[in-house]
Amino acid sequence: MTGQQLKDSILQWAIQGKLEPQDPTDEPASELLERIRTEKAQLIKEGKIKKGQPTSHIYRDDEGSYYEKVGTKDPVCINHEIPFDLPSGWEWCRLGEVGDWGAGATPLRSNTEYYGGNIPWLKTGELNNDIINEAEEHITDKALRECSLRMCSVGDVLIAMYGATIGKLGIAGIEMTTNQACCACTPILISNKFLFYYLMASRQSFIKRSEGGAQPNISRIKLITHLFALPPLEEQKRIVARIEELMPLVEQYDKAHSELTRLNDQLPEQLKKSILQEAIQGKLVPQDPTDEPASVLLERIRTGKVQLIKEGKIKKGQPTSHIYRDDEGSYYEKVGSKDPVCINHEIPFDLPSGWEWCRLSDIAVYIQRGKSPKYSLIKKYPVVAQKCNQWDGFLIDKAKFIDPATLSKYTPERFLQDEDLMWNSTGLGTLGRMAVYYTALNPYELAVADSHVTVIRLLKSCVDPSFCYFYFINPTVQSVIENMSDGSTKQRELSTTTVRNFLVPLPPLEEQKRIVARIEELMPRIDKLR
């Protein structure tokens, strides 16, 4: 239960007589109503308030049905209006019976003599569901005299009748007037705060009864004819005291509930981040000493790439990188025939036994940006762009299409292959986002990448693309990508050289598979926590 739901429940218990016990010694509401009617008649006689609609009398007959007699009209059964049964000592009446209700007005804006005076003039947007002690604008005595404005007394209950603020409330803490969208009630012999809380509890009822399209409203007539559950005056006071005792506790509960909700919402993502972090550091699954170590795997990769170059299946790239650790524990890198260079500053964490650091280019057979396409409305050859690569997967339906006539300009290696990694390489917001291309998710004959996406094709016989994908989407990696990018603030980009030289932890192949399997087992479970 949210804080607002708890608050609503308390208010509903209050107006139904379930929040505080009844006291049989209290003056019953039937007698209070008679005193209110007498007092109201006297105020009308003295000219202090205007005569309103004929008096309403609601009563229950011997069979338990509710009837209402208005003025000299015949009684009418109103069972269909009664929302709940009342406790002993309470009575049903109309809101118009317990107060003097009236709306304000807006003086002509073009008349400068109407504004800038000393009389606070309240708009419904300023209603705060609390005591109101100031207004944003003030009007003059001239405006008050000439514009049919109602002057509200301290303690008057205010309610918005129009628009988005409909049902919003306030209590006048100072003498003021209001615009026409605000109705004010001067209570007669009842607790203004009980009336305030009653109206607050009834807000949804007012909204349901509102009329109009773009500007829904509840009229003054609808307000004064709304049913009011009237308790004895002493019970009103006890109810108000109880509500005001509970509401600070509800506020505390609401803050705690909101914080718990926030933490619960964050928990799945934090768990996913933790799992990915554990995975890339070799802490998610145990190492198996019988696995072929990554050092041997790297040699196989190098041999395999040499053979592929020899067969003309891939192009010769930059010189091979060898990363190793010296006797003192420092990391060095030897590229081709160059002297070794210490790269301790690049190493983000220590690796478990059997793992090795390498460059992405050392385990890939193809790393290349896509081409700037000539687009076509012919939906035959999709172009994978940044928006196709989402954190939750690859979306081919977001792709545009190249002009079929330009297909001949694409060399075969540019056609995407199953399990290619697609890395967004330009733009804020999408930079670093990665997805895996699966041919099974492409209903078309083939696909290519545009110039904002770098395609990474791994030697799949030795490297599990899914392991590398989980590495690159890891928050630790993502957090440094922008720092590794080039260009202006508005247009950062990952150069192909930067991508090729990206440092990658390489586990034994069998451990790669175990890590991927474990991640794919855990992630759906975490999603169920939402």
176 and 54 co-located in one domain: yes
pLDDT band at 299 (very low <50, low <70, confident <90, very high): very high
pLDDT at 56 over 80: yes
Neighbours of 128 (CB within 10 A): 11
pLDDT attached to residue 268 = 82
Pairing of strands 76-77, 91-94: unpaired
73 and 207 co-located in one domain: yes
- The residue out of 251, 285, 310 marking a domain boundary is 251
Give residue-wise pLDDT tens across range 311-324: 888 888 778 899 99
pLDDT attached to residue 269 = 83
Residue 357 lies in a domain: yes
Residue 371 lies in a domain: yes
Cα gap 427→158, rounded to integer Å: 52
22 and 113 co-located in one domain: yes
- The residue out of 199, 222, 251 marking a domain boundary is 251
243 and 314 co-located in one domain: no
Neighbours of 158 (CB within 10 A): 24
Longest dimension (CA), the chain: 111
pLDDT attached to residue 242 = 95
The strand pairing partners of 172, in sequence order, are: 132
431 and 508 co-located in one domain: yes
Residue 269 lies in a domain: no
Measured CA to CA in angstroms, residue 76 lies from 54, 56, 67, 226 at distances of: 15, 11, 5, 16
pLDDT attached to residue 215 = 66
Measured CA to CA in angstroms, residue 69 lies from 56, 152, 222, 435 at distances of: 6, 31, 18, 73
Residue spans of alpha helices (H) in 331-387? 360-363
Give residue-wise pLDDT tens across range 202-220: 988 888 877 665 567 888 8
How much is the average pLDDT of 276-291?
94
Residue 427 lies in a domain: yes
227 and 357 co-located in one domain: no
3-state SS class at 256: helix
Domain that holds residue 450: 294-527
Q: Which residues contact 347 (CB under 8 A, 6 or more apart)?
A: 331, 357, 503
Residue 256 lies in a domain: no
Pairing of strands 177-178, 115-122: parallel
358 and 491 co-located in one domain: yes
175 and 60 co-located in one domain: yes
Using alpha carbons only, how large is the chain's radius of gyration in Å? 38
Residue 282 lies in a domain: no
Cα gap 349→360, rounded to integer Å: 17
225 and 301 co-located in one domain: no
- The larger pLDDT score, comparing residue 435 to residue 263, is at 435
CB 328 within 8 A of CB 422: no
Residue 29 lies in a domain: yes
- The residue out of 251, 284, 315 marking a domain boundary is 251
pTM of the model: 0.61
245 and 366 co-located in one domain: no
How much is the average pLDDT of 134-146?
94
Q: Structural domain tally of the chain?
A: 2
CB 29 within 8 A of CB 230: yes
How much is the average pLDDT of 193-208?
91
Residue 460: CATH number of its domain = 3.90.220.20
pLDDT attached to residue 339 = 93
* Residue in this structure with the two tokens 């804080």, named with its chain if needed: 3
Residue 281 lies in a domain: no
323 and 246 co-located in one domain: no
- B/e letters for 301-324, b = 16+ CB within 10 Å, e = fewer, are bbeebeeeeeeeebeeeeebbbbe
* Average pLDDT score over the chain: 91
196-205, 408-417, 427-436, 460-469: segment of lowest average pLDDT: 427-436
Chain Cα centroid distance, residue 267 = 16
DSSP type of residue 214: S
DSSP type of residue 427: S
204 and 314 co-located in one domain: no
